[in-house]
């Protein structure tokens, strides 16, 4: 998949394709369906399938005080878009200047003028342009004038309602990683590098991998069954992960992501890894002392071993970096 960032007026762009437009944070099941439909239509027409997306997310520019945390890093998002089968992604820098551009000017000058789409796919709830004036109805009217078709996709629903990036953020922040997996169609994953810790886990008999997360959004404080992909080994390793502040051992400690890999001892410092959250075991808690903490960690490890013995994670839900 070709990635074209901030094309200049002289950059040659794919023309005559099927174009999807969206922020695509998390590339959840709703996004995936839209992209599958667009890619299938492009193959039917014998043309290119491409997506137009934005970085940073518009909320980061327009409402920074809201503190929205993204579901995916820039690299994760592009990888997930690539897995959807797109031929190209055009990534535009979202600035206040772009935000102030009237929807009609953006659609005429860039969308039609530069890409000449045969068809355009977008979610029914997606808006663009100054004052969020650009929507499906707007593009349908413009398409009739300029000669391109528009497909507006309704949100996908499950038993609890529509699937959206906002909803996925809420369940991840609450630590509901199993529900997040059903909404994403894959396990929620955090990328990062292994950092040097205080070796407290090793002293307690449970050496840990300390992650410097690149993702903005971490699952809520608690203990999780996880699996970790180590590129240097090119394989997955099961483990137990604590996201929290280690209240039994420290006071006012910063939030940490610590993973004990089962039956693994190699040195991984500064290596990049991807950590997948499979299931939540329990809340983080303060114990009366170290013996109680150690006993609970042993119980958590036993629970993880039972999980992997009985319900190993599906390869289809694990997206390798």
pLDDT of residue 166: 97
Residue-by-residue pLDDT tens, the chain, 321 positions: 999 999 999 999 999 999 999 999 999 999 999 999 999 999 999 999 999 999 999 999 999 999 999 999 999 999 999 999 999 999 999 999 999 999 999 999 999 999 999 999 999 999 999 999 999 999 999 999 999 999 999 999 999 999 999 999 999 999 999 999 999 999 999 999 998 766 555 556 578 899 999 999 999 999 999 999 999 999 999 999 999 987 566 556 678 899 999 988 888 889 999 999 999 999 988 876 778 888 899 999 999 999 999 988 999 999 999
- Residue 16 has phi, psi (to 5 degrees) of 75, 20
Domain ranges of the chain: 2-157, 164-317
Question: Among 37, 221, 21, 31, which Cα is nearest to 134's?
Answer: 21
Q: Beta strands 2-5 and 88-93: pairing type?
A: parallel
Query: How many Cα neighbours within 13 Å face the side chain of 195?
Result: 12
Q: Are 52 and 111 in contact (CB under 8 A)?
A: yes
Residue 168: helix, strand or coil by DSSP? helix
CATH, domain range 2-157: 3.40.50.620
Question: Among 54, 19, 57, which Cα is nearest to 165's?
Answer: 57
The CATH homologous superfamily for domain 164-317 is Riboflavin kinase-like (2.40.30.30)
Q: Are 175 and 280 in contact (CB under 8 A)?
A: yes
pLDDT of residue 265: 81
Question: Among 239, 219, 211, which Cα is nearest to 300's?
Answer: 239
pLDDT of residue 203: 59
pLDDT of residue 266: 80
pLDDT of residue 320: 95
Please state the pTM of the whole predicted model.
0.95
Residue with tokens 């839209």, as numbered in its chain: 34
pLDDT of residue 280: 98
Q: Tell me the residue ranges of DSSP E strands in the chain.
A: 2-5, 18-21, 49-55, 88-93, 119-123, 149-153, 157-158, 161-162, 188-195, 209-213, 222-230, 235-244, 256-261, 272-282
Q: Are 35 and 92 in contact (CB under 8 A)?
A: no
């Amino acid at each position: 998949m070709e990635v074209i960032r901030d094309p200049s007026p002289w950059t040659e762009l794919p023309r005559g394709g099927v174009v999807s437009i969206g922020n695509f944070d998390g590339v959840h099941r709703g996004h995936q369906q839209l992209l599958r439909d667009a890619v299938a239509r492009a193959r039917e027409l014998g043309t290119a399938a491409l997506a137009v997306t934005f970085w940073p997310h518009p909320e980061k520019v327009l409402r920074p005080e809201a503190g929205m945390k993204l579901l995916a890093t820039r690299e994760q998002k592009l990888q997930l878009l690539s897995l959807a089968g797109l031929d190209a992604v055009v990534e535009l820098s979202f600035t206040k200047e772009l935000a102030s551009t009237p929807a009609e000017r953006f659609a005429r000058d860039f969308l039609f003028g530069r890409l000449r789409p045969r068809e355009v796919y977008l979610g029914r709830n997606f808006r663009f342009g100054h004052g969020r004036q650009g929507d499906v109805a707007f593009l349908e009217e413009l398409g009739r004038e300029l000669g391109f078709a528009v497909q507006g996709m309704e949100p996908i629903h499950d038993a609890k309602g529509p699937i959206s990036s906002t909803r996925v953020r809420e369940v991840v922040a609450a630590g509901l990683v199993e529900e997040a997996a059903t909404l994403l169609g894959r396990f929620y994953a955090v990328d990062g590098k292994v950092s040097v810790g205080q070796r407290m886990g090793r002293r307690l008999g449970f050496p840990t991998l300390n992650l410097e997360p690149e993702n903005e959004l971490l699952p809520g404080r608690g203990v999780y069954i996880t699996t970790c992909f180590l590129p240097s080994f090119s394989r997955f390793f099961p483990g137990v992960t604590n996201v929290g502040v280690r209240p039994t051992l420290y006071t006012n400690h910063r939030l940490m992501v610590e993973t004990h890999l089962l039956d693994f001892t190699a040195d991984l410092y500064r290596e990049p890894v991807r950590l997948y959250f499979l299931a939540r075991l329990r809340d983080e808690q303060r114990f009366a002392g170290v013996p109680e903490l150690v006993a609970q960690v042993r119980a958590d490890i036993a629970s993880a071993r039972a999980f992997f013995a009985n319900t190993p994670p599906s390869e289809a839900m694990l997206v390798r970096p």
